[in-house]
Homo-oligomer: A and B are copies of this chain.
Amino acid sequence: MSLIRKVIGIVFVSCSVASFSSAVAAESAYLLESADQVAAMQLAIASPGRFTDEFNKQRQRIDAILDALINIPVPADAGGGYTHEVHKQNYVNMRMAGRLYLLTQDDKYLNYVKSHLNGYAAMYPSLPLHPKKKEQTPGKLFWQSLNEAMWLVHVIQAYDAVKDSLSAQEQQYIETQLFEPMVDYLSEQSPDTFNKVHNHGTWATAAVGMSGYVLDKPEWVEKSLYGLDLSGKGGFMRQLDELFSPQGYYNEGPYYQRFALLPFVIFAQAIDNNEPERKIFEHRDEILTKATNATVQLSYGGLFFGINDAIKDKGINTIELVHGIAIAYNLDPQSGLLKIAEEQDTILLTGYGLSVAQALDEQKQTAYPFESIVFSDGLNGDEGALVVLRQNQSEAHQTLVFKATSQGLGHGHFDKLHYMFYNQGKEIVYDYGAARFLNIEAKYGGHYLPENNAYAKQTIAHNTLIVDETSHFDGNTSTGNKYHPDMLFTELDEHLQISSASMSNAYDNIVFDRTMALVNAPSGKIFVIDILNVDSQGQHQYDLPVHFYGQYIDSNVAMNANTTTQSPLGSQNGYQYLWLQAQGKPVDELARVTWLKDSTFYSHSTVVENGQELLMVRIGANDPNFNLIANQALINRVKGAGDHQFLSVLEAHGEYNGAKEFTRDAASQITELRDVSNETSEGLTLIKISFGEAEQYVLAINANAANEQSKMTFEYAGSNHVITGNAELLQLAN
């Protein structure tokens, strides 16, 4: 059977794409694969292996529904509702039936796809706008055009697989009644979305461009690439140029990055397969490969860093990234990508999926090279950065994520110079992510909850500075979009990984900078140093929260607990959602809180200055519908201060072993933490951290170093020391 098909495929090449102009001569029989690849897939399913396992699984799944009544309901429901879900399921099943037809040439799959296409063709031309339409971006089959574009990206693949087996009359009916009107609706009739440099635009251009290849409409491809007016002001190429930073960081963060990825890579695959001369994957210094790898690098323990409006259970196993990794592997077969593919545990029945499946069968995977990376943000990479500092490449490694990015558009949070910390495969110091229960009707229809704007986006929901209980940019996204942090320096040395950034304009007349370091001490100790300086006019209240997962163990601060009545911490800007559990005035030099998460203890210590207080809070006030997750935070608070420094260290220490009934090092190891800058040359920052007498460090920072090689000598404690570049971790002799 596969041999017959190969011939058909070749015949198909010569007739189906002949009308492409010579400038865009199509090279391939199919939308996403060459005829050779299709033949290889047909051959592969005769032998055991992952590809065949997946084929059998999908065949079983589709065979079970082949005889079901065709269900193409008149659009009625919004996202998550019945008709919405049925049309989603239909596009998934049509695409898969198309795949199975490609692999088996069994007419039952052809008929399944054909009946559905005819059914949709019979309905589509007469559809009005969706009754539950979203005002700005309405669809017809779905409440928003985004879903309509997703439908088309999938279904055009199904049509591609069967088109050749349909009569000219059948083709004409389906194309004129379904695909042409839908393409017209998504492009000419929805110019704002189509031309928008935004992921909705990517879905639309991908859908239309892919349809152009299948229906032999080069003009659709051109519009998709360069915008409706072909000017290049909109369209896919512009999106490639603007939606990613030079390092492949997507402005809205990894959650939306992986969502945006599918139309990017699949349309690029279609372009490369049909018009390799466009060298689409080489565009902008291989931006799509970079973006795919960035998405992986922006994960920990299999889950994406939960910044901005992230749904926190999303990770590298999402279908978008399965396609991305497989396509990237086909472009450049790096064995580390196979490790990710193995963890994704999903095989694709495509040409590029076959390469991955076979390589996994041969056990070619090696560890994915997770690294410390500065993902600079913005079109030119000069609008702040997301800084990822990883201890090493082990599965349990500690990771510090320093969020000095720009706002991230509508899905961005007011969280300038925020951070998260990960250890042993889990998030420890957390970002709340989005307040949303995706697809759960009972929770506000599965939409972003009102608490997303009111709490989750607000600064107090993050681990960064809040001035006077007001969010950055006063909680105004368009103001936020205008500004970004300035990166001061980053150094990634063996024992010291450090990054520093400054933020102006988050508050009027206040500038704050933050320097965060992940220290891998020669002794084996690992800890985070956090220096947050506020430069201010006038007197203000400063809050610096640390949201942590785990069970509070103890604190050296005697706190007054609100044991018999609890009230919210504030009245607005997210503060109204926090129960104030306890607060106290530290008497020691450090305010410390220790907690236990799984088998590790964590201690957060902050130098006490300016009458600082420690507050313990739990999420849940003003939440009558239990829309928020009742987690906790500690807050260091200073009132009536001008300039101020929050100097903190976060340690992961000790072990709690319940099964073996032992505990070690349950208490913080830090005996001293001080800014000793005044004991050395002007302009340097010196932070002293001691773990008893035997292990003492000085973190020396020269913010003004000309470059990473420039050296500066300074005296401290009677000896001379040298800073190379911006920062140095010195261990003091005993």
Contacts and interface: CB of A to CB of B under 8 A. Distances in A.
Interface of A: 80, 85, 311, 313-315, 317-319, 437-443, 446, 551-554, 559, 561, 563-568, 579, 581-582, 594, 596, 616, 618, 620-626, 629-630, 632, 656, 658-663, 666-667
Nearest first, the 4 A-B pairs at minimum CB distance are: A313-B658, A561-B624, A552-B626, A439-B663
A319 B660 contact: yes
Given A440-B656, A565-B565, A566-B579, A554 B319 contact: no
Contact of A442 (B439, B632, B666): B666
A337 B671 CA distance: 49
Contact of A620 (B319, B441, B581): B581
A315 B311 CA distance: 32
Nearest to A664: B85
Contacts of A663: 80, 438-441, 446
Given A563-B621, A630-B618, A659 B552 contact: no
B624 A563 contact: yes
A396 to B, nearest CB: 17
Given A551-B626, A582-B624, 17 more contacts: A313-B658, A314-B658, A315-B659, A317-B659, A438-B661, A439-B656, A439-B663, A440-B596, A441-B666, A443-B554, A446-B663, A552-B626, A561-B623, A563-B621, A564-B568, A566-B566, A630-B630
25 contacts: A314-B659, A315-B659, A318-B659, A319-B660, A437-B553, A437-B596, A439-B656, A440-B596, A440-B663, A441-B663, A442-B553, A442-B666, A443-B554, A446-B663, A551-B629, A559-B624, A561-B624, A561-B625, A563-B622, A563-B623, A566-B567, A566-B579, A618-B620, A630-B630, A630-B632
Contacts of A441: 663, 666-667
Contacts of A661: 438-439
Given A553-B442, A629-B551, A663-B439, A564 B564 contact: no
A391 to B, nearest CB: 25
Integer count of this chain's copies in the complex: 2
B659 A443 contact: no
A317 B659 CA distance: 7
Contacts of A623: 561, 563
Interface of A is mostly: loop
A566 B624 CA distance: 12
Contacts of A443: 553-554
B553 A440 contact: yes
A322 to B, nearest CB: 10
A616 B620 CA distance: 12
Contacts of A567: 564-566
Contact of A554 (B80, B446, B625): B625
A718 B442 CA distance: 39
Contacts of A629: 551
Contacts of A618: 620, 630
Contacts of A622: 563-564
B439 A564 contact: no
A439 B553 CA distance: 12
A438 B559 contact: no
A659 B625 CA distance: 25
Given A318-B659, A616-B626, A626-B552, A440 B666 contact: yes
A439 B554 CA distance: 14
A524 to B, nearest CB: 16
Contacts of A620: 581, 618
A536 to B, nearest CB: 31
A648 B80 CA distance: 29
Nearest to A302: B659
A629 B630 CA distance: 12
A718 B563 CA distance: 59
Contacts of A315: 659
A630 B581 CA distance: 12
Identify the interface centre among A565, A568, A622: most chain B CB within 10 Å of its CB.
A565
Contacts of A667: 441-442
Nearest to A594: B442
A405 B170 CA distance: 72
A313 B659 CA distance: 7
A313 to B, nearest CB: 3
A289 B441 CA distance: 51
A630 B579 CA distance: 13
A591 to B, nearest CB: 16
Nearest to A632: B630
A311 to B, nearest CB: 6
